[in-house]
Amino acid sequence: MIILGIDPGSRITGYGIIVKEGNRLIHVDNGAIFTDADKDFSLRLQRIYRGLTEVIERYHPDAVALENIFFAKNVQSALKLGQARGAAIVAGVNAGLPVFEYSALQVKQAVVGHGKSAKVQVQQMLKVLLNLPEVAQEDASDALAVAVCHAHSHQLNALRRQLS
């Protein structure tokens, strides 16, 4: 199973691609889509959508996973983050992919085993779990963490969908 993890942001959207083969997790790629803060916000959303669409076309994932919003510094930030998440979700849905969402607590627990882990702990554990040569860029690392969370959770999600 190929999983695309996404850490949506209005300025930087991270992505991470992993493959789950049995109990093994294999790192394929990670990176970030940068938007120009000087451009109109609608053009920034378009850049996020197009960038993720290119990633989907390149790697043909089986599923998309992203983190739920858990807090924002202010209402305006929350709205922009929500719109960036919407662009990411639409990129997945338009490609015919199932989209899954996880809380920050679930992501940290899946990667480190503790929901209150520091970001540095998550990054170091991802380096070990995915045999990365170095710690990934922050947004890409967050996206990889979401992908790992989905890799550990997808069977439970499939069961939930069958029961509903």
- CA–CA separation, 67 vs 53, rounded Å? 18
**67 is a catalytic site residue:** yes
Q: Return d(Cα 33, Cα 132) in angstroms, integer.
A: 20
Catalytic residue among 38, 57, 139, 142: 139
Q: Output the six-digit token pair for 20.
A: 């789950």
Q: How far apart are alpha carbons 163 and 91 in whole angstroms?
A: 27
Catalytic residue among 36, 62, 67, 134: 67
Helices (H), 38-163: 41-59, 75-94, 104-112, 119-129, 138-163
Catalytically annotated residues: 7, 67, 139
